[in-house]
């Protein structure tokens, strides 16, 4: 779908669908290569700045695929299938198990 840009009014190749998915990312990372923190309910991956990219499991379930580093401007696209994410029951059990052990 091509429309006129609402910002300048002149761009005839403006595509709002592509614009919403076309983010400048540092890299694309398979979710299997990320680490899941069951206590915080986030996936994380090392960032070149020394910190780490983070994205919550609830954001992933909502269709978000961009993980950000809180210390710099870099972002990565997380490659995943929603069906492969831990089930909500598994998360609750993992949190309960941590609570019982503490």
| Cα–Cα dist 21/15, whole Å | 10
Here the CATH number for the domain that contains residue 26 is: 3.10.660.10
Ramachandran angles phi, psi of 98, nearest 5°: -65, -40
Q: What does the pLDDT read at residue 94?
A: 53
Instruction: Give the domain range for residue 49.
Output: 19-101
Output the pLDDT for position 87: 82
Structure confidence by residue, pLDDT tens digits, 16-75: 333 345 679 999 999 999 999 999 999 999 999 999 999 999 999 999 999 999 999 899
**Considering the domain boundaries, does residue 9 fall inside one?**
no
Note the residue count of the chain. 102
Residue 92: is its pLDDT beyond 60? no
Nearest to 66 by CA among 58, 52, 51, 54: 54
Dihedral pair phi/psi, residue 95, rounded to 5°: -65, -40
């Amino acid at each position: 779908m091509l429309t006129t840009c609402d910002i300048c009014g002149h761009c005839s190749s403006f595509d709002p669908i592509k614009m919403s998915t076309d983010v400048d990312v540092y890299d694309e990372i398979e979710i299997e290569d990320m680490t899941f923190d069951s206590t915080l309910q986030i996936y994380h991956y090392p960032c070149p700045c020394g910190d780490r990219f983070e994205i919550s499991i609830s954001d992933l379930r909502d269709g978000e695929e961009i993980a950000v580093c809180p210390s710099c401007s870099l972002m990565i696209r997380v490659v995943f299938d929603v069906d492969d994410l831990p089930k909500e029951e598994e998360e609750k059990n993992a949190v309960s198990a941590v609570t019982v052990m503490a």
